[in-house]
Amino acid sequence: MREFIMAGCDLHDGSMILKVAVGTAAAEKWVYDNNAPSRRKMIARLKALSKAHRGMPILFAYESCGLGYYLRDELEGAGIRCLVLPSTSLPKSPKNKLNKNDEKDADRILAVLRSIQGGQEVSEVWVPPAEMRADRDLVRTRVSAAEKLASIRTQIRSLFKRLGRKCHGTTSRQDREWLQKQLERLPSGPDEALDSLLRQMDFYEREVAHLDERIHELAESPRYRKLVAAVRQEEKGVGELVAMVFLTELGDCLRFHNRRKVGGYLGLAPRSDETGKADDRKGHITHQGPAVVRKMLCQAVWCQNRCAPRAKARYEKLVARNPQHKKIAVVAMMRQLAVRMWHRAVAVTESQIDAKATRAVSVPLRAARAERSATGP
């Protein structure tokens, strides 16, 4: 059995609690602040410990959280193997919930590393490249800005409802002119509230337009142009934004081996609570994975139901099976759409890989031919 220096880390915004063990020895507790100088000290201490044990390899792990992957990047850059563990891979029980603290959390992560040292396979989070993480941030910011804009428009309509008046709209140029005129007709207080909401709406409309331009540039870049065209092919309702949300959140499409893996990652698979003879107990979908993709798929499906006759016919066929639960039909359509988009993305990705392999082989051949032609027979 190969031995490692194992470090299980309970990562927080301001601190890092580590349990470090050399091989099968007892663990030692390390505590560091979560800032750049402290992380450098921690890395230097781990490498010194490795050197003291004749270059024993280091295995570091922490639980996936909202702090991203900067710690993993720094460790991998220093030559330390780092695993980002999903919360599902950590042992949880009612007793754990009643007796939980940072040190015990680090112990649980260390226990996972010890099982790896014993030869057991453990699932880890797929970490997207830094370039894709930046793309995700841009696309998510665009979706968030649109949600805030929709919320402000809802607040404007609610303001008029509370005053017993009807709001004609908030989107067109005529609507905006009408809203500006209402500032002079509303009583003191509501007029200030409407003025503030109109300024916020102007701001977020400009932000959405600016982000749309940036996303369009990204979609037209060599990394995404063919993929975006493929996933949008023959799919009404799948615009540039929907395609970019799908591609950036899915990441490397080749890491999914079949459509079930795609549906499970997107949270579109049904829950299952079966035991003994109760073998047909399926519940609501799991809602795991990126919620923003489910939102975009839902919007695309409703657009297809209105504009695409074939999609509408499939939807009505699904509804006919269970007329009391139309949401089931919508979810089924979302899953089918996601799987179709995934298949197209896989085809493009595989063709690009084949093209790179062909170029890698043909370039040396062309160079050899050129050399032979220059030197003669």
Residue 80 reports pLDDT greater than 90 = yes
Which residue in the block uniquely carries the two structure tokens 């699904």? 318
* Bridge partner residues of 285 (DSSP): 270
pLDDT given for residue 284 in this prediction: 80
Residue 375 reports pLDDT greater than 60 = no
* 85-106 residue pLDDT tens: 998 777 676 666 667 788 999 9
* 125-184 residue pLDDT tens: 999 999 999 999 999 999 999 999 999 999 999 999 999 998 989 999 999 999 999 998
* Bridge partner residues of 33 (DSSP): 15
Q: What confidence tier does 366 reach under pLDDT thresholds 50, 70, 90?
A: low
Burial category of 376 from C-beta neighbours within 10 Å (exposed 0-12, middle 13-18, buried 19 and up): exposed
Averaged pLDDT for residues 272-281: 59
CATH number at 5-117: 3.30.420
Residue 239 reports pLDDT greater than 70 = yes
SS3 label, residue 222: coil
Averaged pLDDT for residues 251-276: 86
Residue 38: partners with Cβ closer than 8 Å, 6 or more residues away: 16, 32
Residue 15 reports pLDDT greater than 90 = yes
pLDDT given for residue 356 in this prediction: 77
The lowest-confidence range among 115-124, 276-285, 315-324, 355-364 is 276-285
Selected residue with higher pLDDT from 204 and 279: 204
Can you list the pairs that 34-43 forms with residues at least 24 positions away whose Cβ atoms lie under 8 Å?
Answer: 39/71, 39/74, 42/16, 42/18, 43/74, 43/75, 43/78, 43/80
**Domain ranges across the chain:** 5-117, 130-219, 228-271+284-359
Residue 370 reports pLDDT greater than 70 = no
Percent of the chain residues past pLDDT 70, beyond the cut: 90
Query: Could you tell me which of 273, 246, 288 has the C-alpha nearest to residue 64?
Result: 288
Tell me the pLDDT of the chain averaged across its residues. 89
C-alpha angle 370-372-376 in degrees, rounded to nearest 5: 120
Residue 306 reports pLDDT greater than 80 = yes
* 27-60 residue pLDDT tens: 999 999 999 999 999 999 999 999 999 999 999 9
Q: What confidence tier does 377 reach under pLDDT thresholds 50, 70, 90?
A: very low
Selected residue with higher pLDDT from 360 and 191: 191
**In whole angstroms, what is the distance from residue 213 CA to residue 32 CA?**
42
Residue 359 reports pLDDT greater than 60 = yes
* 322-354 residue pLDDT tens: 888 888 999 999 999 999 999 999 999 999 888
Selected residue with higher pLDDT from 358 and 51: 51
